[in-house]
């Protein structure tokens, strides 16, 4: 495990996030966010805006807090017993950690796709219909059928599974399962989709399918994706954030980050000289 | 040598075999400058096996057959008129001989004295031959096996095979025992069904197994309608499950999903302790506390109830079997991957929705087997029923009445002095068979349910 050091002890100084962390048309904006697991601090003072209908990529070495930060955005960290968060996280200018905010409703607005495909032990149809049934999104069986078909089609999976909608979702291949998980997320029509290394378990072809899917989804949704593949970040995202040992080092347009990084740590990482 | 001494020597041989096997494989590979196919200990295991196990099997076989062969030999040299005795009487006679051979008191009867002497001689001879055969076999097997050791011998694979056969042997012992029990129950039941019609037994509504000992005895014609017993069993088990399944399942869900780790580590063992309390204590509790309470409650409602009821026994039994449901369910619920929960929460599901929609379906097979275990415990329970539900075989579905169960009647049929071939005792086997078939059917139904509703997670 990486030993997280205090800002002053780092070999290369991280003063404050360099680049352009703030933008005008922000969907999410986080200010002074610290995250602790028990005594241990995993995120230090993260300040960043996430633009509407954009894809933002989060990169950085393993254990630097990308997943932790992502999970703050839909309050998935609430389910971890000793995880504490301080600072402001605003979604459409509303503090999502304020007392009146119901995390359950928040998660219906901010969907999440996980690193390992985790379809429910139910049929493909029921996997996609799950959220719609929970939130009463479909009035009738016909509407539900339509919603399932539409979501599967948009996730690029419908053609492959249209004859086996009532077979278990766990019987699909890894790439198909991941697209099923994306389908079930877009079925509840969230505003933001968080993706934590969604293609790390997939082959290049399935990865390409999902990347295309992300790009087409970004017309309608705001997407934040954690990835270890810099090519992937470069291919799909408009902006890129680089994390290092719990610090948000640099945020900028993807092009700028990869061609002309401002911070030494970012440069080290993208040129493969990390460590 | 005695059995114990031979056994000890064989264990020593086992170690000796191990070390010589190891040594030999190493020295052979050194001498021929050839790499061993397997690790030296694999050769050791092989030699250890051959130097002890075949000899051990012969020893066991010999010891099992010894007594019947010797008995036959003694009978053969008895005077003719003694040989005419029935098998039972001969058995008694031989027992006496064996007992006499252990005591040092002088024996007056000539025939018996001769028999005792002959018996001692035979035993001594058998011991000698046995020791010689066993050790010769052990050493021969060991040396033959040692001669087979070569560096290219695939000892690791052979050991693997041995282990496989050992596993098969253990599994077959378990299976064969079960089959043996089933067959013995079936055969005794068949004898019973020669005197009592199968349909009268299964669907007869009157149970009173007392048989007339004398011709003129009043009210002593046995009547074997087992329906009331099976209904009683199912009634009490049903009451018990109605108590245990919801309570057990809910507490399992609470422990695995809601409670803090500290509370769980304290509450789970306490809950499991319920299953460890002796059933007679539960029976006592049912008879002294619960049954009178139900009766008083009934009285205050204007019902006159007996102090023995299926309800009292069922409730207490239900409490007893809670841990069977809760403990197994808790284990399987905890084993549902966290990713399932995360997936559901990320869709905006609440905790209880997640439990209902995702966790319970994923854990269903385990939950069903917990319930099944609890059910078979309830069906087989005897003591609580004797103490709280009575002995009277009423055919009723009313849990407020006294009933009796199959197991209780089996106990009453077999306790006391009984002839082992009377209809009364044989009825116990028929009841046992019925019970076995009942649980078998329950198992099949639940397997079917699980297969139908099972939802796989990877
Ligand atoms: N549930 C937890 N309890 C305690 N510490 C945790 C927990 N989850 C993560 N951490 C710690 O927080 C830090 C950041 O972890 P995080 O999972 O966010 O890293 P990451 O950037 O997503 O890494 P990776 O690229 O390997 O997924 C790590 O040091 C990790 O050990
Ligand atoms: Mg991660």
Question: What is the 3-class SS of chain A, one letter each residue?
Answer: CCCCCCHHHCCCCCCCCEECCCCCCEEEEEEEEEEEECCEEEEEEEEEEEECCCEEEEECCCCCCHHHHHHHHCCHHHHCCCEEEEEEEEECCEECCCCCCCHHHHHHHEEEECCCCCCCCCEHHHHHHHHHHHCCCCCCHHHHHHHHHHHHHHCCCHHHHCCCCCCEHHHCCHHHHHHHHHHHHHHCCCCEEEEECCCCCCCHHHHHHHHHHHHHHCCCCEEEEECCCHHHHHHHCCEEEEEECCEEEEEEEHHHHHHCCCCHHHHHHHCCCCC
DSSP code of B207?
E
* Cα(B313)–Cα(B294) distance, integer angstroms: 11
> What mean pLDDT comes out for the span A83-99?
91
Q: What percent of chain B has pLDDT over 70?
A: 95
Residues B381 and B260 both lie in one domain: yes
SS3 B294: helix
Q: Please identify, among B153, B188, B205, the residue that sits at the C-terminal boundary of a domain.
A: B153
When the pLDDT of each residue in chain A is averaged and rounded to a whole number, the result is 89
% of chain B at pLDDT higher than 90: 41
Distance from CA of A108 to the nearest CA of B (A): 5
Q: Which range of residues forms the domain containing residue B451?
A: 227-457
Separation of alpha carbons B168 and B16, rounded Å: 27
Which of B120, B153, B186 delimits the end of a domain?
B153
In angstroms, what is the span from residue B344 Cα to ligand 2's centroid? 19
What pTM, to 2 d.p., does this model score?
0.76
Residue B95's pLDDT band, with cuts at 50, 70 and 90, is: confident
Is any ligand 1 atom within 6 A of the Cβ of residue A1? yes
Judge whether A160 lies within some domain.
Answer: yes
Does ligand 1 come within 6 angstroms of the Cβ of A59? no
**Any CB–CB contact under 8 A between A2 and chain B?**
no
Same-domain pairing of B284 and B387:
yes
Contact A134 B343 (CB under 8 A): no
Residue B15 has pLDDT above 60, yes or no: yes
The residue whose CA has the least distance to atom 30 of ligand 1 is A63
pLDDT band at B215 (very low <50, low <70, confident <90, very high): low
A183 contacts: CB under 8 Å, gap ≥ 6: A127, A128, A151, A152, A154, A155, A157
- pLDDT for the residue B113: 84
Pick B382 or B179 by higher pLDDT: B179
For residue A1, the model assigns a pLDDT of: 42
What's the CATH code of the domain at A202? 3.40.50.300
Is ipTM over 0.85? Answer: yes
pLDDT at A9 over 70: no
Tally of domains in chain A:
1
Our measurement of the distance from residue B211's CA atom to the centroid of its chain's CA atoms, rounded to an integer in Å, reads: 32
Q: Within this chain, do residues B140 and B231 fall inside the same structural domain, yes or no?
A: no
Q: Does A173 touch chain B (CB under 8 A)?
A: no
- Comparison of pLDDT for B367 and B307, the residue scoring more: B367
Task: Look at residue B222 and tell me if it is in a domain.
Answer: no
Residue A275 lies in a domain: no
Average pLDDT over residues A2-11: 54
Is residue B180 included in any domain, yes or no? Answer: no
Would you place residue A243 in the very low, low, confident or very high pLDDT band (cuts 50, 70, 90)? very high
Number of Cβ atoms within 10 Å of the Cβ of A125:
19
Counting the structural domains of chain B, the total is 2
């Amino acid at each position: 495990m990486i030993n997280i050091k205090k800002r002053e002890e780092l070999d290369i100084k991280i003063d404050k996030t360099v680049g352009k962390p703030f933008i005008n048309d922000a969907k999410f904006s986080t200010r002074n966010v610290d995250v602790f697991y028990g005594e241990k601090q995993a995120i230090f003072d993260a300040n960043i805006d996430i633009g509407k209908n954009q894809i933002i990529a989060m990169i950085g070495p393993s254990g630097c807090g990308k997943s932790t930060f992502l999970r703050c955005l839909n309050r998935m960290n609430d389910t971890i017993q000793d995880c504490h968060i301080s600072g402001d996280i605003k979604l459409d200018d509303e503090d999502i950690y304020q007392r009146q905010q119901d995390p359950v409703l928040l998660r219906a607005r901010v969907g999440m796709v996980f690193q390992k495909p985790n379809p429910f032990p139910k049929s493909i149809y029921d996997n996609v219909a799950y959220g719609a049934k929970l939130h009463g999104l479909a009035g009738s069986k016909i509407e539900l059928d339509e919603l399932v078909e539409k979501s599967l089609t948009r996730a690029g999976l419908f053609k492959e599974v249209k004859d086996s909608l009532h077979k278990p979702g766990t019987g699909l291949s890894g790439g198909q399962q991941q697209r099923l998980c994306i389908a079930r997320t877009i079925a509840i029509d969230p505003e933001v989709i968080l993706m934590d290394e969604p293609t790390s378990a997939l082959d290049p072809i399935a990865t390409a399918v999902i990347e295309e899917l992300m790009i087409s989804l970004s017309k309608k949704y705001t997407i934040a994706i954690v990835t270890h593949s810099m090519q992937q970040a470069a291919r799909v995202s408009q902006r890129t954030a680089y994390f290092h040992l719990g610090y948000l080092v640099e945020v900028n347009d993807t092009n700028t980050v990869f061609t002309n990084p401002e911070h030494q740590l970012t440069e080290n990482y993208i040129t493969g000289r990390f460590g | 040598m005695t059995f114990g001494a031979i056994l000890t020597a064989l264990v020593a041989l086992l170690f000796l075999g191990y070390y010589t096997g190891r040594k030999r494989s190493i020295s052979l590979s050194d001498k021929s400058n050839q790499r061993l196919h397997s690790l030296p200990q694999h050769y050791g295991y092989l030699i250890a096996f051959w130097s002890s196990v075949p000899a051990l099997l012969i020893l066991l076989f010999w010891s099992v057959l010894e007594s019947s062969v010797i008995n036959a030999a003694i009978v053969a040299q008895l005077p003719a008129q003694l040989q005419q005795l029935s098998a039972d009487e001969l058995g008694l006679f031989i027992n006496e001989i064996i007992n006499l051979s252990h005591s040092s008191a002088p024996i007056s009867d000539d025939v018996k004295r001769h028999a005792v002497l002959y018996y001692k001689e035979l035993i001594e001879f058998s011991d000698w031959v046995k020791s010689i055969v066993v050790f010769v076999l052990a050493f021969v097997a060991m040396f033959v096996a040692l001669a087979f050791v070569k560096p290219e011998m695939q000892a690791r694979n052979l050991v693997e095979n041995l282990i496989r056969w050992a596993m098969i042997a253990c599994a077959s012992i378990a299976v064969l025992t079960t089959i043996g029990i089933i067959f013995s129950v079936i055969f005794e039941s068949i004898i019973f069904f020669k005197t009592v019609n199968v349909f009268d037994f299964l669907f007869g509504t009157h149970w009173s197994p007392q048989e007339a000992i004398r011709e003129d005895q009043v009210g002593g014609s046995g009547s074997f309608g087992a329906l009331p017993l099976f209904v009683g069993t199912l009634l009490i088990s049903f009451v018990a499950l109605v108590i245990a399944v919801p309570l057990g399942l809910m507490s399992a869900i609470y422990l695995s999903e809601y409670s803090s780790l500290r509370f769980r580590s304290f509450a789970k063992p306490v809950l499991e302790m319920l299953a460890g309390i002796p059933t007679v204590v539960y029976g006592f509790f049912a008879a002294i506390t619960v049954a009178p309470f139900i009766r008083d409650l009934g009285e205050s409602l204007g019902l006159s109830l007996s102090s023995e009821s299926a309800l009292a026994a069922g409730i207490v039994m239900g409490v007893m079997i809670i841990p069977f449901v809760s403990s197994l369910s808790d284990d399987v619920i905890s084993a549902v991957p966290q990713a399932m929960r995360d997936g559901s929460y990320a869709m905006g599901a609440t905790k209880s929705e997640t439990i209902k929609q995702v966790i319970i379906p994923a854990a269903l097979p385990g939950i069903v087997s917990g319930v099944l275990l609890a059910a078979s415990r309830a069906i087989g329970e005897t003591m609580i029923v004797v103490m709280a539900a009575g002995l009277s075989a009423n055919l009723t579905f009313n849990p407020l009445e006294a009933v009796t169960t199959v197991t209780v009647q089996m106990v009453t049929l077999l306790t006391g002095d009984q002839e082992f071939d009377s209809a009364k005792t044989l009825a116990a086997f028929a009841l046992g068979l019925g019970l076995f078939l009942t649980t078998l059917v329950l198992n099949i139904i639940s397997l079917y349910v699980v297969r139908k509703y099972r939802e796989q997670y990877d």
